[in-house]
């Protein structure tokens, strides 16, 4: 069953810019400057989205001098992906057995 935490994470990832950030961070650890260059977003807007991702447990931060680097926490996505995999398996089994409730 999808929990309210799963629903909250889906909402966080539903934003196109946040999804782009997650996609970029899956490939490498980046600082805000890199993310501004890659996304074309304004720094303040990007910082707000990174805060949301951090609070949702999707990214971790790593201070490095005057910069902050961001890295993706794969376990956050794996947990959600696992729930969708379970739902897909249940739907497949339901389809194969022809199970349906009568009206």
Report domain extents, the chain: 4-83
Two tokens, residue 28: 């490498």
Note the pTM of the prediction, 2 decimals.
0.85
Confidence at residue 102, expressed as pLDDT on a 0 to 100 scale: 83
Confidence at residue 5, expressed as pLDDT on a 0 to 100 scale: 82
Quick one: CATH architecture of 4-83? Answer: Orthogonal Bundle (1.10)
Per-residue pLDDT in tens (0 to 9) along the chain, 103 residues: 667 888 899 999 999 999 999 999 999 999 999 999 999 999 999 999 999 999 999 999 999 999 999 999 999 999 889 888 998 898 998 888 887 788 8
Confidence at residue 99, expressed as pLDDT on a 0 to 100 scale: 79
Look at residues 27, 14, 26, 85 and name the one whose alpha carbon lies nearest to residue 56: 14
- DSSP-derived pairing of the beta strands 59-64 and 67-72: antiparallel
Confidence at residue 1, expressed as pLDDT on a 0 to 100 scale: 63
Confidence at residue 79, expressed as pLDDT on a 0 to 100 scale: 86
């Amino acid at each position: 069953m999808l929990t309210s935490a799963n629903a909250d994470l889906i909402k966080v990832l539903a934003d196109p810019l946040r999804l782009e950030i997650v996609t970029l961070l899956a490939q490498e650890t980046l600082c805000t400057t890199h993310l501004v260059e890659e996304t074309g977003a304004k720094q303040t807007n990007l910082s707000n989205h990174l805060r949301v991702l951090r609070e949702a447990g999707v990214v971790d931060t790593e201070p490095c001098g005057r910069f902050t680097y961001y890295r993706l926490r794969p376990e956050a996505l794996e947990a959600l992906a696992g729930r969708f995999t379970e739902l897909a398996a249940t739907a497949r089994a339901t389809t194969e057995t022809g199970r349906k409730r009568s009206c």
